[in-house]
């Protein structure tokens, strides 16, 4: 089974290509279960996501495509939701979808993965930033609002890393993810970024496997040609950590399939 549950659409204002083109790319790549998880609306940084008024259009279109393509590919409907206290909205959290991906893209409203604000790293205490980041992931897991953890170690995106072993920094977050019963995505987008590796690293993925945290796969495509990006490499990474099954979601219920 080839699964890719994290794909965007132009509604978020920073992705390109029509949803049909993403699906055609998924068919060409041999994907069996393909999920849209576009950036959910939020009254913060509103221009990098869909607007609340567009949720219905998004959900209707994906459901419609799922029906149209059902003989050829399984299409799922989800959202990538920012974990940002004070800005999470019931309309998103209670949406009737197959799954919600919870992602941390902000530390105290600093968009740490946005190249526009990269200057903030220069004089920062990297150990403190990494601790704050993983504390936010831990709080996200403790919130029990989401099904999948988006790009677990996104904070490495520009290669600003603290000295030494980073595993202890992620321990609390991984314990909380396991306790919450969340699924972890293996996300290929990191290979398209300065860090040039998947999220999460093999070290952290091994910690997840020790805690029996299930996984799923994500290309995080923002254009059709990125669908299924480095899928074989993601599978190899998962196998290296001991995984043989990956998760699919329907109506927020998980099932595990061999990949
Ligand atoms: Zn995006
Ligand atoms: Fe993200
Ligand atoms: Fe994404
Ligand atoms: Zn993402």
What is the whole-number distance in angstroms between the Cα of residue 35 and the centre of ligand 3? Answer: 11
**Per-residue pLDDT tens over the stretch 39-97:** 999 999 999 999 999 999 999 999 999 999 999 999 999 999 999 999 999 999 999 99
Distances (CA, A) of 76 to 11, 63, 89, 249, 250: 17, 8, 21, 8, 7
What is the whole-number distance in angstroms between the Cα of residue 80 and the centre of ligand 2? Answer: 7
What is the whole-number distance in angstroms between the Cα of residue 220 and the centre of ligand 4? Answer: 6
What's the CA gap between 208 and 159, in Å, rounded?
A: 22
Question: Residue 132: its pLDDT value, please?
Answer: 98
> Phi/psi class of residue 42: alpha, beta or left (left: φ > 0; alpha: ψ in -120 to 50)?
beta
Question: Residue 196: its pLDDT value, please?
Answer: 98
What's the CA gap between 148 and 183, in Å, rounded?
A: 5
The number of domains in the chain is 1
The residue-averaged pLDDT of 93-122 equals: 96
| Residue 22's CATH number | 3.20.20.140
The residue-averaged pLDDT of 201-214 equals: 98
Confidence of residue 25 (pLDDT cuts 50, 70, 90): very high
Question: Residue 78: its pLDDT value, please?
Answer: 98
What is the whole-number distance in angstroms between the Cα of residue 151 and the centre of ligand 4? Answer: 7
User: Which residues crowd ion ligand 3, with CB under 5 Å?
Assistant: 80, 220
**Per-residue pLDDT tens over the stretch 177-199:** 999 999 999 999 999 999 999 99
**Per-residue pLDDT tens over the stretch 215-248:** 999 999 999 999 999 999 999 999 999 999 999 9
Provide, rounded to the nearest whole percent, the portion of the chain with pLDDT above 90. Answer: 100
What is the whole-number distance in angstroms between the Cα of residue 169 and the centre of ligand 4? Answer: 21
What is the whole-number distance in angstroms between the Cα of residue 73 and the centre of ligand 2? Answer: 24
What is the whole-number distance in angstroms between the Cα of residue 104 and the centre of ligand 3? Answer: 11
What is the whole-number distance in angstroms between the Cα of residue 7 and the centre of ligand 3? Answer: 6
Question: Residue 126: its pLDDT value, please?
Answer: 97
Question: Residue 225: its pLDDT value, please?
Answer: 98
The residue-averaged pLDDT of 116-126 equals: 94
Q: Quick check: pTM over 0.75?
A: yes
What is the whole-number distance in angstroms between the Cα of residue 164 and the centre of ligand 1? Answer: 30
* Residue 246 token pair: 């990956």
**Per-residue pLDDT tens over the stretch 129-142:** 999 999 999 999 99
The residue-averaged pLDDT of 164-189 equals: 98
Query: Do 44 and 13 touch, CB atoms closer than 8 A?
Result: no
- Helix/strand/coil for 79: strand
What is the whole-number distance in angstroms between the Cα of residue 150 and the centre of ligand 2? Answer: 6
What is the whole-number distance in angstroms between the Cα of residue 192 and the centre of ligand 4? Answer: 12
Range of the domain at 152: 3-258
């Amino acid at each position: 089974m080839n699964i890719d549950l994290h794909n965007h659409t132009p509604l978020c204002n920073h992705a390109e290509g029509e949803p049909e083109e993403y699906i055609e790319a998924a068919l060409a790549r041999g994907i069996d279960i393909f999920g849209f998880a576009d950036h959910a609306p939020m009254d913060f940084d509103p221009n990098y996501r869909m607007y609340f008024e567009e949720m219905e259009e998004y959900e209707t279109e994906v459901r419609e495509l799922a029906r149209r393509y059902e003989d050829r590919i399984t299409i799922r409907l989800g959202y990538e939701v920012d974990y940002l206290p004070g800005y999470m909205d019931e309309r998103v959290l209670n949406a009737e979808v197959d799954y919600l991906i919870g992602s941390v893209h902000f530390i105290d409203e600093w968009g740490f993965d946005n190249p526009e604000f990269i200057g903030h790293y220069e004089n920062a205490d990297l150990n403190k930033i990494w601790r704050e980041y993983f504390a936010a992931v831990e709080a996200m897991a403790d919130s029990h609002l989401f099904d999948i953890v988006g790009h677990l170690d996104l904070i490495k995106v520009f290669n600003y890393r603290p000295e030494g072993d980073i595993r202890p920094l992620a321990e609390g977050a991984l314990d909380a993810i396991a306790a919450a019963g969340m699924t972890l995505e293996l996300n290929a987008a990191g290979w398209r970024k300065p860090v040039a590796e998947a999220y999460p690293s093999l070290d952290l993925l091994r910690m997840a496997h020790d805690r029996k945290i299930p996984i799923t796969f994500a290309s995080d495509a923002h254009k059709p040609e990125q669908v299924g990006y480095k899928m074989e490499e993601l599978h190899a990474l998962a196998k290296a950590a001991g995984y043989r099954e990956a998760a699919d979601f329907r109506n927020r219920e998980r099932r595990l399939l061999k990949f």
